[in-house]
Structures are given as structure tokens and as C-alpha cells.
Structure 1
Amino acid sequence: MRDGKDLDVSGVLLAWYDRHARDLPWRVGPADRAAGMCPDPYRVWLSEVMLQQTTVAAVRDYFHRFTARWPTVEALAAAPDEQVMGEWAGLGYYARARNLLKCARTVAGEMGGRFPASHDALRGLPGIGPYTAAAIAAIAFDQPETVLDGNVERVMARFHDIHDPLPAAKPLLKERAAALTPMRRPGDYAQAVMDLGATICTPRSPACGICPLRDPCLARASGTAAELPKKSPKKPKPTRHGYVYLARRGDGAWLMERRPDKGLLGGMLGWPGSDWTAAPAEAPPFGAEWQSLGEDVRHTFTHFHLVLKVRTAVLPDGLQPEGFKIVGKHEFRPSDLPTVMRKAYDLWRGQ
């Protein structure tokens, strides 16, 4: 059996990718790439931001809607914040949407609508971290950058039979991935490794028998593939509590508030509510006989669970409490709400 040092890993993976590349709406496939078609950096950037902490299946429809509505970075940069945040609703991690707009406006306003090609220059743009910069540089500009997402980490851990747990193992996995990154077709290679992890070297029940790297894979040889990569135990998530207040006028208008730009759901339109703490105080937006729906909203964020008690009341005609917004019946779109706020609306609607 040959090991990874003796095998042209990149050549094997690129040959496999040429036959089995996934058809993704933001991707220029290997045949088109070979024919001279270049990826659009805008579409690559948009897809990479959307894919953070999210699956390909969840992103497809969002990507189609965004690119149909805003086909260029200049178009996105000119879009009103509330429209972009509304289209983003449901993808979560709303700081990404705020940074998306900041980045689009920087590229459109200061760079003539052209994304820089180098990793370091990309890192200087709002919302672009080391991984996203590497992915854009490799995929959009064919730079030999090492792209290390969860799929690549899993492939590297198994290929080299690395048992150090994540996240501590990330530097070692990146070092091993960098050693295999070729100068020839690095963008296609980066996507090939990601596709391998997504379709064959999957988290559960990896299809080792049809893997193009099955012979030199050390974890397959040792029988440890299914247990890698190892991960450090997760700390239990705390639970926070809060209140949300749904007030509707007789003509169907709703009382809403825009959350502060910084923090969870920053800049999003939602229901008035209390702070989210271990023991929140009720904080209704106006005096009324607030009624309980009798059922709580439950939602999980990255670092904590949230339980919200839902209160409802009639909003008197002509009343607009200071700091809040009246959204008319025909302006209100439940799909624009962040998921936790939509859960409260769905609970109200189901009563």
C-alpha cells in the first residue's frame, strides 16, 4: 500500500472531481472551468457567507433569491437594509447579513465593484475571516490557499488517522491539508476535498469502498474512520428566559421594534420584548391587559437555549409607543421575521 507521500493525492482527487463534482448554483463546474469560464467572485463570496454554519440544502433557495434580486455586488450594495435583512430571515446568524451589506458597500464604493484576489486583502473586508478569505481566493481566483471547513477537517483527520480532538486539532489538520494543496487547479482541488467530505467521507457511515483515497487512507487501514474526527465534549448550553409582546390594531397593523444593530438578531424587525436572562422582568411596551397564550416559544441559539413567554393585547387606534414601529397589515410579512420571532407569531396564529 502506498502512503499519501507517494501518491499524487491532488491528481487523484481532481480526476474524481472531474467525474463527480456536485452541481451547485454558485459553482463553475470542472468542464466549464476547463473551457475557460471563470467563477464570479461575487457569487462565490455570497455563497460562502451564506454557507457558514448552514447546509447546502438550506442555502440553495436563499442564494437563488438573492442573486435574482441583486445579481451584482453593486446591486446588493444599493439595497435597503430592511430588504436584505428580510430576505436573510431564516438563515440565522444575522451578524452575517449586516456584514454582508457592509462588505458589498465597501467593494462597490471603494474597489470599483471588484473583489481583491489575495487572501490578505480579502481579510480586510467586513465579515471575511480566514476561512472565507481562503475559500474566495482559491475558488474565485485559483490561488493556492488552504480551505479548511468541516468536510476538509474530517477528510484530513481520517486520511492521516489523527486522533487529536477538535477544535485543538485544527492547526495540525490545516498543516496536513496545506501539504496536499497543489499549485495546479487549487480552486477545483479545494472544492474536490469538500465534495469528498460531503458525499463520501461523510460524518456517519463513510463510503470507504468507493473513495478515491481508500488505499492510502490510514484511518481506513486501521479501522478508525467512523470514529474520526474526535471532538472535545461540548459544554452544556444554559437556558435563558424572556417575554415577547404581540399587539395588533383593529385594522390588522402590528406593533414592532427594530433590534439594536449589535447583538443577536441585530437590525432585525421583531416583537417588543424583555431582556433574555435567567430571571427577566416583564417589560410590556404599553399599559394594557396583556393575555398569556399559555404556551412558550422555545428556540436554540449557538450558545444557549431560549424560552419566551408570549403575551398578547389589542393595540388601541392612534397609539404608537415611543421607540416602536407600526407595521401595516399589507406591509407585514411573517417570512421576514427571524425564526424565533416567527415562532411566536405562529403560536399566536394557531390560537
Structure 2
Amino acid sequence: MSDAEQPRLRAALLAWFDRQGRDLPWRQGPEGRRDPYRAWVAEVLLQQTQVARGLGYYHRFLTAFPSVQALAAAPLDDVLKAWEGCGYYARARNLHRAAQQVTREGLPRTHAEWLALPGVGPYTAAALSSFTQNAPHAVNDGNVRRVLARLHAEPAPTPRWVQQQADALLDPARPGAWNEAVMDLGATVCTPKRPQCGACPLSGWCGARASGQPGDYPAPKTRPAVQTVQAVAVLIGNAQCAVLERRDGALLGGLLGLPSQPFDPAQPGAPAQALHALCARLNAVPGPLLGEVTHTMTHRQVTWQVYAATGGPPLTDVGSAALSRLDHKALALAGRRAQSLFPV
């Protein structure tokens, strides 16, 4: 595609976006002048969550924390509870830290100031500076990568190549709208499987469509192998009140959860040894097996053998605690066991 074709391509995509762009709550307000706080929450939330599912989480979070000042003043436990179910909880912890920084220093006014906040990387800084200040910074995410790889019939686009192409195509007059348009095109028309080429405003310029096999671009990424983790967990109490411990680490750090102990399934007797060690640490007495639960987190599949136990530390109100989905699955075993013992 020649430089002379770029204005026509930009005009075609922006006209399509003006007609058919998604009506999303964080897009309210003048183009390039979105509410910074709402746009920021949405971008952080949608880093690992699809829009259809993220809408409910977005409204719940904004109801709990309607302003950056409210978020900054809230205890971290309340923030994690409002984030519950979204996963990747480091996002919530960083958002909370960044909100406290913003209340001291003010909302960012430049791309560099957005980039200086905890948890804000190159994509988020480019998105927020373009959406809220109409700054000329092109975004580079999965949708943009797919659209540009197909447009140029590039089977193996590197991050650097994608950024170069995105920078070259960025509309100088409407950078915020352009970024949203490319992402919307990838999310709704130029989808990973069965792209709707007949409805695409860029079909006349698309190298992948001309090849006759648009779905082949870009070539699938090599995914890392899923790591299997086996552990025992104990439920002391019931589904409403139970012994909970504070998690650490990047994945679930800050959340509460049932006490657990990993084990090596290749070692004979490892589950029993792990259960004994866990109960000794808690000063608890192990009880019967309640069942087994499995949950996949990132590239890790975690399976728990969940046992009842008695004794141990004081119980915590489960309803007020921020828990992972794995913990909710484990707690549900207690409810099912109670129903089997005392059927209605």
C-alpha cells in the first residue's frame, strides 16, 4: 500500500467506526476527551477480560469507587473484593497504588505521565493518552496485531513490526478515534476465526483477503505448555464462615483463600503427607474428603483435593472476603455435602 492510499484507507475505517463503533460506557464524552478515570478503569479491566464479560465488572467497580479519590481512600481488601472474578489481581493492586499517586500528583496530562503510573505499560499509556487527550500515540494489542497482519499479509508479525505499522497508519487528526476503530474492527469484523471480509471497510486494501485465506494470518502463536499443580486444601467451618489465609505471589497476591499445600503426585503418599503437614501448621484435625476441584489460571491448571477439618485459627466471614474462583469452587463442595447429608 502506497503512502498516497493511506488517506483513503483512514477515511474508510473512520467512516465505518462513526457508523458502527461499539457504544461502550467509558466512551461517553467528546472524542479525544474521555473521562480519564473511567477510561483508565476500563483499559486496565479489559487487558485480560473480554468486553462482553467485562461490562458487568466495570459497572460494579465504578459503583463501589465512582472517583479516583474514592478508589485511593479505600482499603485494599475492598478493592480486591470489587475486583473479584476478574482475575489477574495484580491489576487491581496496581490500580489502587496508582490512584493514590494520582490523588497526590493529579491526573496524567501526557503519555509519559500515564506511563509513570504503577501497572501502566506502553499499550495502556498510548490508549489513555489518545482517548483522553487525543495524543498521537498508536496502540498495539491483539486486535491491532491481527488487523495489521492481515492488511499486510504478514504471517509472523513481531511487536516491533506491529508498532511500526500502527504508527504509520495512525490518523493524525483523530488518533483516539482511530485507535478505537482498529480495535473495534478486530473485535467485531476481523475476528480470529471466520473473519467477515464482506463487511470490512478495509477489504479493498487487505492482502490476507486477496490471498484467499484470511484466517491464516497471522500464524498461530506457540502457546506455552499448561503447568499442572496438585494440592490439598482444608475447609474448616462452612461455606459461610471458614478459616482463610492471605495469599501472596503475583497471581493471587492479596486475596484470602482456603489453606492449601501443594504436593508432587509422582511421590507415593504425597497427598496424605501434604494434608498432615497442612493440618499440623494450622493446629487442626483432618476430616473426610469433600471432593476435588480444578481451575485453570493463566497457563496453570490447579487441582485441589478438598478435605474438611476441625480446630485451627478463627473463622472469617466468607461473604466479605475477596476470593479466587478456585476457592469459591472449593467452598461449593461444602454446600453440596450438606445437601446430601440433609436433603430437603
Give the count of matched residue pairs: 326
Q: Is the Cα contact below 8 Å between 1:85 and 1:336 reproduced in 2?
A: yes
Asked if 1:162 is matched to 2:157, the reply is no
Q: Is the Cα contact below 8 Å between 1:334 and 1:342 reproduced in 2?
A: no
1:111 corresponds in structure 2 to 105
Asked if 1:56 is matched to 2:44, the reply is no
Asked if 1:82 is matched to 2:77, the reply is yes
1:232 corresponds in structure 2 to 221
1:118 deviates by 2.0
Could you tell me which amino acid in structure 2 is paired with residue 131 of structure 1? Y
TM alignment of 1:267-306, pairs within 5 A: 267-275=254-262, 281-282=274-275, 283-284=278-279, 285-293=282-290, 295-306=291-302
User: After the TM superposition, which of the residue ranges 4-13 and 283-292 deviates more from structure 2?
Assistant: 4-13
| In 1: Cα distance, 2:164 partner to 2:111 partner | 17
1:310 corresponds in structure 2 to 306
2:18 corresponds in structure 1 to 18
Q: Is the Cα contact below 8 Å between 2:256 and 2:321 reproduced in 1?
A: no
Q: Is the Cα contact below 8 Å between 2:87 and 2:324 reproduced in 1?
A: yes
- Secondary structure (helix, strand or coil) at the match of 2:306 reads strand
- Secondary structure (helix, strand or coil) at the match of 2:328 reads helix
1:289 deviates by 3.4
| In 1: Cα distance, 2:292 partner to 2:3 partner | 54
Q: TM (normalized to structure 2)? A: 0.89
Could you tell me which amino acid in structure 2 is paired with residue 253 of structure 1? C
| In 2: Cα distance, 1:46 partner to 1:87 partner | 12
Relative to structure 1, the CA distance from residue 287 to residue 67 in structure 2 (aligned partners, 3 Å threshold; closer, same or farther) is closer
Asked if 1:146 is matched to 2:138, the reply is yes
- Secondary structure (helix, strand or coil) at the match of 1:243 reads strand
Asked if 1:264 is matched to 2:251, the reply is yes
Relative to structure 1, the CA distance from residue 145 to residue 226 in structure 2 (aligned partners, 3 Å threshold; closer, same or farther) is same
| In 1: Cα distance, 2:262 partner to 2:72 partner | 32
Could you tell me which amino acid in structure 2 is paired with residue 17 of structure 1? F
Relative to structure 1, the CA distance from residue 290 to residue 207 in structure 2 (aligned partners, 3 Å threshold; closer, same or farther) is same
* Equivalent of residue 197 in structure 1, options 183, 186, 204: 186
* Equivalent of residue 94 in structure 1, options 76, 83, 89: 89
* Equivalent of residue 218 in structure 1, options 184, 192, 207: 207
| In 1: Cα distance, 2:263 partner to 2:256 partner | 17
1:171 deviates by 1.2
CA distances 1:82-111 after superposition (whole Å, capped 9, x unpaired): 111111111001111111110111111x21
Q: Moved runs in structure 1, 4+ residues, more than 3 A?
A: 2-5, 275-280
* Equivalent of residue 67 in structure 2, options 66, 72, 85: 72
Q: Which runs of 5+ in 1 are unaligned?
A: none
Could you tell me which amino acid in structure 2 is paired with residue 205 of structure 1? R
Q: Is the Cα contact below 8 Å between 2:231 and 2:304 reproduced in 1?
A: yes
TM alignment of 1:20-35, pairs within 5 A: 20-28=20-28, 33=30
| In 2: Cα distance, 1:18 partner to 1:210 partner | 15
Q: Is the Cα contact below 8 Å between 1:93 and 1:265 reproduced in 2?
A: yes
| In 2: Cα distance, 1:220 partner to 1:44 partner | 33
1:276 deviates by 6.6
| In 2: Cα distance, 1:277 partner to 1:212 partner | 54
1:254 deviates by 1.7
Identity %, equivalent residues: 40
- Secondary structure (helix, strand or coil) at the match of 1:288 reads strand
Report the RMSD for the aligned CA atoms in angstroms. 2.1
Asked if 1:174 is matched to 2:168, the reply is no
Q: TM (normalized to structure 1)? A: 0.87
